Amino acid sequence: MKAGARALGIAESAAGEQSTLAGAVVRADRVVDGLAFSTCTVGGMDATDAIVSLVDDIDRPDVEVLLLGAVAPAWYNIVDLSRIARTTDQSVIAVTFEASAGLEDGLSDAFSGDQLEQRLERYRSLPPRRPVSINGETVYVRTAGIERSRAETVVREFTPEGGRPEPIRVARAAARAGRDYRFSDA
């Protein structure tokens, strides 16, 4: 990937009833090239809309791919990867960092009735999670609008060290700072 290729990393940091979403445009050579923020409801179902809004707000036609740092941010606010890809006309790669048996047990413990069924339906519609080895670590990816082999290449190229892609790492730091600013006494 060329040094000037750009990805938009999206991560969240929750506090109270709202979670701060941050988007960080990062070039493949690690230069941060833009930031945007949005919010979604902790325990809600509005993360997909918030991510689409964030992509629209940042308005960067030079971004080649979206890298999401979670599929269930803000306490099971499950995203619809296919809808994000369709609506934004972007390739989407969701990257998670731990082996897992899935979210169904956690969802069943936390929700019931229609809230549970809505989340289970969206969760079950997600593309399968696949392991990818990067720098001696394993991450797990789900994709929409991009071939699996290309997604693996993108994740590796945007991960110069360790196992966390740089756009997600920067977005996570920005989300924490944005959350702290929003909830400070200043």
Give bridge partners of residue 90 from the DSSP assignment. Answer: none
> Is residue 68 scored above 70 in pLDDT?
yes
Mean pLDDT of the chain: 96
What is the reported pTM?
0.96
pLDDT above 70 as % of the chain: 99
pLDDT single digits (tens) 69-93: 999 999 999 999 999 999 999 999 9
Position 186 scores a pLDDT of 57
Position 39 scores a pLDDT of 97
Domains of the chain: 6-100+128-183 (3.30.2170.10)
pLDDT single digits (tens) 88-100: 999 999 999 999 9
| Long-range contacts at 85-90 (CB < 8 A, ≥ 24 apart) | 85/144, 85/145, 86/145, 87/52, 88/52, 88/55, 88/56, 90/8, 90/55, 90/63, 90/65, 90/66, 90/145
Q: How far apart are CA 133 and CA 94, in angstroms?
A: 15
Angle at 135 between CA 129 and CA 137, to 5 degrees: 45
Residue pointed to by tokens 């756009």: 167
Residue pointed to by tokens 């606010």: 77
Position 117 scores a pLDDT of 98
pLDDT single digits (tens) 102-156: 999 999 999 999 999 999 999 999 999 999 999 999 999 999 999 999 999 999 9
pLDDT single digits (tens) 13-29: 999 999 999 999 999 99
